[in-house]
Amino acid sequence: MSNQPNITTLAELKSSGYKSRSIKEELRQNLLHRMRSGKPVFSGILGYEDTVIPDVERAILSKHNMILLGLRGQAKTRMARQMVELLDEWMPIVAGSELNDDPLHPLSRFARDLVQEQGDKTPIAWVHRSERYTEKLATPDVSIADLIGDADPIKAATLKLPYSDDRVIHFGLIPRSHRSIFVINELPDLQARIQVALFNILQEGDIQIRGFKLRLPLDIQFVFTANPEDYTNRGSIVTPLKDRIDSQILTHYPKTLEIAQEITAQEAHIPEEQKSAITAHPLAYTLIEQIAFEARGSEYVDSKSGVSARLTISAFENLHSAAERRAIVTGETTTAVRVGDFWGVVPSITGKVELVYEGEQEGPFKVAQILIGKAIRTQFTNYFPDPESFKRSSSDSPYLKITEWFRKGNALDILSNLDNAAYEQALYSIPGLFDLVKKHQPKASTQDQIFLMEFALHGMAEFSLLSKYQLERGGTGFKDLFQSMFSMKPGKDEEEF
């Protein structure tokens, strides 16, 4: 934070050439300057370069109040907070003013009286742009007093004033955000009568508090956020208020896996000791994003509620922690992420998806398993031939040698806490598995080959070439599909997917 201007009186402020301007004009001019200089307007907001960001820029250039409309986890609040960077670094106010009064155009009774009394000697204070942002989450218990104000009996008693004197008013958040950015999150959750109270503030500049009708032309940049689900399920935006919000801007989830991966890598917090001890095949990170994409299209997940980017961020962090925990248990200092470690991301999924009725019947844990399986199936054909293009027993199937081994009664159990040597030995014991990876991913490193060998088994199970089951001791087992179908029940260590 740079030093504030060395101006302490109204006379010094006038002689400095300071000119008042509205916050919307301030945002507009600073946005123009930043755009012309080639500096990014919103940093760290990925995937919106050609959609949301241009809409927000147009709204600012038009001096519009705006609403950001989109599902959960679409960076709506983050964009609103970054608008603070478009404000002047320092703003002069009448010292002691609770409404950020402009010294050249005082608004409150206190500031007007002070300027009239002291004239050019009126003391000036400076407010940093970081303090010119107010955010309020709309909840059903928000009151008129919270947002606009109320008569304060304690102030009336202390100052010995009658209730007819406007100096007894205690102003709420909105008047105190004069010359600032004011954000109301989840606007539809605000009670209709509270929304009505915003009408005149947005357009006419009047406020009414306990019988006081004050002409307060507040200078505020309003930004609202809302979830489309709220429009239909929990509440609504009353029509006259909606009409007074100049620009409605639609946000969206990442449109490609690549952008989604960039967002997750940027937002996830991985401790340094994990970064140095854990390695991962790029496919592991792709699978994390694919899970979210599968969830957004799943019949078990409520599409109106959305699937937040927080799911993939949490899953990314849990995946590393699952590998780290395994390494600690086995006494190893380094390890690589395995497909089996995706059991560790299940808690990141179950708490972040809203299930429809069918999903509730399946249960959140089962739905999480299904989503992981679908992600593996979707990505499988990017690395290996599509199993559906071969008959099960076709002699030219690249999977025949592997399935024949399982058909002979063999099975493979990969426990969650196998050390690296035992894990590799188990995968190399399956005839044809290494050859499959070597043929179709010839450039993969030795470490990557091992990950892809396990991935191949999981993918084959998703395409019904193998049976996959959960081990009670923790881990995953594989065996022949037909043997699994004809057995009366899973073995004592097995729980079928």
Tokens of 108: 């409150």
Distance CA 131, CA 84 (A): 9
Interaxial angle between packed helices 433-440 and 446-462, expressed in degrees from 0 to 180 and rounded to the nearest 10? 110
Q: Which of 78, 37, 38 is nearest to 56 (CA)?
A: 78
Q: Which of 399, 404, 420 is nearest to 336 (CA)?
A: 420
pLDDT attached to residue 184 = 95
Distance CA 224, CA 232 (A): 17
99 three-class SS: coil
pLDDT attached to residue 484 = 62
Mean pLDDT in consecutive groups of 10 residues from the start of the chain, 497 residues:
84 94 96 94 93 97 95 92 96 94 92 94 96 93 84 68 67 91 92 83 68 74 85 69 91 95 95 95 97 94 88 96 96 96 94 83 89 97 93 80 94 94 96 97 96 97 94 92 62 50
pTM of the model: 0.85
CB 287 within 8 A of CB 312: no
71: number of Cβ within 10 Å: 19
Q: Which string of b and e fits 184-196 if b means at least 16 CB within 10 Å?
A: bbbbbbbbeebbe
First-to-last C-alpha distance (Å) of the chain:
56
Helix, strand, coil percentages (3-state) for the chain, rounded to 5, are: 50, 15, 35
